[in-house]
Structure formats: structure tokens, C-alpha cells
Amino acid sequence: MKLLGATGATLLLASTAAATNNVLTPDKLEAEIKTQELQSVLWNLNHIAHQNGGNRAFGEPGYKASLEFILERAQKRFFPEFDTYVQPFNHTYDKTLEIKVTGPEGEDVFVVSPQYNPPTVPGGVKASLIDTPVDNERGSMCLEEQWAGIDATGKLALIKRGACAVADKLKLAKIHGAIGVILYDQAPGTNIVVPTLEAENIGKLVPVGIIPLDVGTAWKTRVAAGEDVVVGLLVDAISETRETWNIISETKQGDPNKVIMLGAHLDSVQLGAGINDDGSGTAALLEIMTGIRYFSFPHKVRFAWWGAEESGLVGSLYYTSHLSPVEVDKIKYYFNYDMIGSPFPIFEIASDKNSGVGPQLLEEYLVSKGKEVINAEFGTGSDFVGFVELGIPTASLHTGAGEPWDPCYHQACDNLDNIDYDALTVNSKAAARALARLANSLEGVPARATTTPNRRSRRGVAQNFRRWAALAVEASHGHTCSHTGKKTRV
């Protein structure tokens, strides 16, 4: 056992005594949340990205630096009030080193690469395009029946994006002989949201380049007119297993059998700093953590910063799948905060029939501040998934991803200019008030739902984890705009 030195012991006793004499209330914790402090956290995260290749993504130096930034406060400065540990896990890291699409006249075409894009042969491929039908309702080339009569052998399939997961289109293209896919976006312009094809699909897909709508439409017209349109596709990518981490930090005080938990993901995508997605949630948690240590309350509070969310909710699914049945029962509520400072925000609270009082607590405060709240059902787009599947009462707050709410979603421009600080502040204060209420009382919190067979057994949880991994395939293509599972772009 590690003993505290005299100074450390004195600080711990002084801190504990101060908190004991200062009972937590929603008003007190709300007062601890200040816009300038939230801005400071985001400045630091943006600086970390700037110093580490422009991102804070899983497997990149910027994520490790982000981890150390949180730990400096949680583990070092706040050690008298919090027990903090790092939970390691492995996942498949992927990075596109180079992608290039060459047009029929030899011109370079604007192109983006999804995460987990398989490489072409060295030097790339050059082949004729084969056109495919557009189905805006069901999604183009998402279903086996849509490929009837199409022989893509040795060709690059020209497919419109939308409706279903990109990986679904690429699997079918491979089955039907294509050597690659040229996927044209469903929205105009070059602000193309980057999807994730998911590590579980490695070996099942053909390489793809995602190009603008106008370019793809023009090529489609030329192919339809009978022209042999020959284009090139080069993808150079690496894929390997890398270690990453969750941070779990909980108050020393409070009943360990009554845990209120808050979570946000710490990683960004590879293209940018991830200041809204999800620096905003990270900042909210860190400032709530900073404030709550001054007060006393009867229930234990646990904060989680998740790793590899952008790769398919990997960190939170790892955490929830490794909880014992006893540990699961101790978690009485989970709040998820992912993208809560979008520059053109909606105020959306996701819940289900077992969410109890949590959504109401968030909504009451937001409405009192003049915000129009949208209530929605859970989808599969963020780190609440594992908790919902375990039957733990859960609520989630979200301000919108992609156009029109966050045009810089999954882009390099998700930086300090991509935040509505009023939305971030009011959402952080709502989160603080909701936590303060549940840290004091579980009134209105339902029991954990345990109706699914074997859910309480470790084998059942492991089986659910495999199912959640399948759900994460959908989740990894983008955040929900309404938490119903419908993505802003797929």
C-alpha cells in the first residue's frame, strides 16, 4: 500500500473536511461551470492536436497527449478527491497514407478516404467505370437485388453514396467482381463527411475513393452515353493492432453501490482536432469534475473518457462488456455527452422507456434558458449503446452532426472556431445540475432493466458485446442527427 506523505495527508484531510461541510446542490454545481474555463480546456485540446499532426485520434500521438492532459488534472491535482485509473485495450489502427483518383483526361480529382479503406495493388488500378442504378429511397447498390444483371468484373463501380453503410456497398461490389469503387457523395460540394468502414470488415471490401457529387454525376452521364470512361484509383494504407485507453475516475466519497456515471469520448477523427466532436463533451466532464470536488453528497460519481469511439464505440463497449454483474448493478445512471457545442445547435435529448428522470432534469434546465428541446429515441451513434444494452437507465445530450448543425463534422475545420459557446455552457450547466440531483437522490430513477435472457451473466454480456460490435458498424459511419439510428450521411 502506498502511504501519503505528511503534506499529502494534510491536504486530503483538509479537502475532505471542506467538502463535508459544503453539501452539493444543483445551484452550487451550476455556479462552478464557467465559459472561460470550458474555453481553456478546448484551447488545450486544440493545441494538443496542433502539436501532434493535426488530430487527437486513436493510435496517434495526439490521443496519448490528450490522455495525459486529462490525467494531469484527474490523477495528479485531484488525487485527494478522486480515484483514477487507465483501462488499456487493443484495437485495429488504420491510416490512409495516400489516396488518389485520376479522371479520364488524366486530371487529379478531389477525393477523401474512409477509415479502414483497403489498399489497392502498388501503383493503384486503372479501369473502365461501370455505372450502377441510383436508388435514393433504399440506397444505391445496398441490396443484392440491385446488382442483378451487373457484371463489374475487372471494373471500377460508380456508385452514389447514401442511405446504407458504405461498407455494405463495397461488400457487394467485391462479390460482383469490381476491383474498386468510385463513390460519389450525395450532397454537393467538397465538405464530405468521412465514414468508417469498420475494422471487422478488413478483407471483405474493395478499395474506394469518395468524390464530389458533380464529378460523379458528370461521369455517370458520359458512361450512360456509351463512352468508355477510364479512371484511376490509388489507395496506400496501413493497418495494425495498437493499444489505446479509457480513463475512469470516480469520487472517493459516496456509496460505491450507488454510482452515477458520466461519459464523453476523448478521441477525434484523423482529419482534425475534434473540438466539438468530442472536445465539447470532454470539457464539460472535466469542468464538472473540477467543481464537484468541493461538495459532499451521498452517491459515488464516476467520470469516463472513452477511447476509440470514432472507430466504432470501441472503448465504451470494451468497458461495458468487461463489467461483472455485480459492477453493472452498482451503476444507477449513465449520462452521455457527445457533441454538445455545435455551431448551429439543436438541443436533443435521447432516451428510452427506462431512462426515468434523467431526460426531464436536462430538459427542465434547457427550457428555462429558452432552448427548444427535441426528444428522441436512442440510436446506435454514441457511447450510450453499451449502457442501454445492459439495461442501465441512460440519457444522452447532443447538438447535431453534419449539415446544418455542424458543417465541420469530421473535418479539419472542427477547431476552436467550430463551437457555439452559449450552447456548450448551457449544456454543461444542465449536465452539472442533473448530476447534482442524482448524486443526492435516486428518486425517479428506475431499476435496471434485466428482461433479456442471460444479460446478467458474464457469458450473456460477452454475447451482447459481440452484438454491440455489429451495432458499432452502423455507429461508426457517423453520429445520429436524431439518435434514431438515421445518420446525417452514410
Q: Which residue has the cell 445518420?
A: 487
CA proximity to 369, closest of 60, 9, 33: 33
Q: How far apart are CA 434 and CA 358, in angstroms?
A: 7
Residues in the chain: 490
DSSP state of 77: I
Beta-carbon neighbour count of residue 224 at 10 Å? 9
Is residue 115 within 8 A of residue 197, CB to CB? The reply is: yes
Q: Just list the catalytic residues.
A: 309
Task: Give kind and range of the element (H or E) at residue 8.
Answer: helix 6-20
Q: What share of the chain is helix, strand, coil (3-state, %, to 5)?
A: 35, 25, 40
Residue by residue, what is the 3-state secondary structure of 274-314?
CHHHHHHHHHHHHHHHHHHCCCECCEEEEEEEECCHHHCCH
Q: Which residue has the cell 449513465?
A: 334
The amino acid that residue 28 corresponds to is: K
CA proximity to 464, closest of 371, 357, 392: 392
Kindly report the backbone phi and psi dihedral angles of residue 308, in degrees, each rounded to the nearest multiple of 5, phi listed first: 55, 35
DSSP state of 414: -
Which residues, other chains included, contact 36 with Cβ-Cβ below 8 Å and sequence gap of 6+?
A: none
Q: What are the cell numbers at 420?
A: 457555439
Is residue 196 within 8 A of residue 113, CB to CB? The reply is: no
CA proximity to 94, closest of 60, 67, 62, 141: 60
